[in-house]
Amino acid sequence: MDTTTITNNFKSEEYFINMGPQHPATHGVLRLLLTIDGEIIKKVEPDLGYIHRSIEKMCERDSYQQIVHLTDRMDYLSSHINNEAVCLTVENALQLEIPDRVKVIRTIIDELTRIASHTLWWGVMGMDVGALTTYFYGFRDREMINDIFEETCGARLTMNYNIPGGLMFDIHPNFVKRTKEFIAHFRTKLPEYDTLLTGNIIFQKRMKGIGILSKEDAISFGASGPVGRGSGYSCDVRKHHSYSAYDKVTFNEVLKTEGDTFARYQVRIMEMWESLSIIEQLIDNIPEGEYKVATNAVIKLPEGEYYQKVETARGELGVYIISTGTKNPYRMKFRSPGFSNLSLLNHIAVGGKIGDLVASMATLDLVIPDIDR
């Protein structure tokens, strides 16, 4: 990116700062070019592509089972949900009848993934505004979830547990017991999060009234997930376009109307409570049955176009497949939530200070591999 074009358009007191690809606050390899006047930000321009791995081009060459493995490196904090998105698209295209057992297990692991992602987000959020201890508290709870996943799925981060047709293997016998222990433990820890960070007056002053996003702007920018819900935009895919076992459970969609960083923060904290309630409703009644449905070894989708939306921890992930009947997709597009959420960064950061930019970025909860694909 050429910086002379930026500096040529300057007014006299503006200067240019590069929050480079390696920076403690950008959560990954994101380069931001900031034009600043004193402490006030005039323009934010993201420079992407540092972790672009051309996943979409690779999908045109790989079989559908191989594509599932590529997706968990996109948004690695909700890897299970990414895998599920591709598997659901393929299963709907082939019109497979998925057993209830699979649906319920997928939903439980989805919600555990969501809690794991939000605890990591909370820890890093505290670290970005200066409360360095929250990082360790968030990770302590995330470790328990990672241990449950390791026992059942075999991996802590990139799960690879879903395949088109169901799950790769059945859940471990300890899964139900350990999940229940985790729920009991986490219900006592989540109020601790509120004591440590949410109620702190310094924290509230840093977050309230910062980075305001109105509802119309949220819809126009394509914001989804907690970012949209913090502005009052009801965008939960689990409610509007239900999949897996979400139509069998009752949960609230958390909406806040202020649209500032504190509202987005509160939405995520309350989402963790809702996820706990969803898991509790399902964990005791996992139906018996098969854990997968047989598919052909070489999967060929019938000719046509297929779209599936899921709700990851960041927002709405869309998988769009155009198939011509062969064993590879003709075109595969991933509509990533972070991509649209990043495009509104310039809109909410301009006019604020550098410290506000850091706080706003933390509440957008960006994972750069999700954006770059």
- As to burial, measured by CB atoms within 10 angstroms (0-12 exposed, 13-18 middle, 19+ buried), residue 201 is exposed
Instruction: Give the nearer residue to other proteins in terms of CB position, either 277 or 328.
Output: 328
Q: Give the residue among 295, 237, 316, 289 at the shortest CA–CA distance from 104.
A: 289
Minimum Å gap between C-beta 48 and other proteins is 6
**Residue 340 CB, nearest approach to other proteins (Å):** 5
How far apart (Å, rounded) are the C-alpha atoms in residues 287 and 334? 32
CB of 149 to other proteins, least distance (A): 22
Please, what is the Cα angle at 236 between 104 and 105, to 5 degrees? 10
Within 13 Å of residue 163, how many CA atoms lie on the same side as its CB? 18
Q: Closest CB to other proteins among 154 and 199? A: 199
3-state SS, 201-261, equals HHHHHHHCCCCCCCHHHHHHCCCCHHHHHCCCCCCCHHHHCCCCCHHHCCCCCCCCCCCCH
- Residue 369 CB, shortest distance to other proteins, in Å, is 12
Backbone angles phi, psi at 309, to 5 degrees: -110, 140
Residue that has been written with the tokens 């997968």 in this structure: 292
304 touches 92 (CB < 8 A): no
Choose between 108 and 359: whose C-beta lies nearer to other proteins.
359
**Smallest distance from the beta carbon of 206 to other proteins, in angstroms?**
6
> Distance (Å, rounded) from C-alpha 196 to C-alpha 201?
11
How far is it, in rounded angstroms, from Cα 123 to Cα 128?
Answer: 9
Specify the residue, 105 or 120, whose C-beta has the smaller distance to other proteins: 120
Nearest residue (CB) to other proteins, 153 versus 361: 361
Closest CB 71 distance from other proteins, rounded Å: 16
Pick 181 or 305: Cβ nearer other proteins: 305
Q: Which residues here bind other proteins, judged by CB under 8 A? A: 1-2, 15, 17, 24-25, 39, 48-49, 52, 54, 56-57, 61, 126-133, 135-137, 140, 196-197, 200, 202-203, 205-206, 216-217, 219-222, 233-235, 240, 303-307, 309, 316, 318, 320, 322, 331, 333, 335, 339-340, 342-344, 347, 353-356, 358, 372
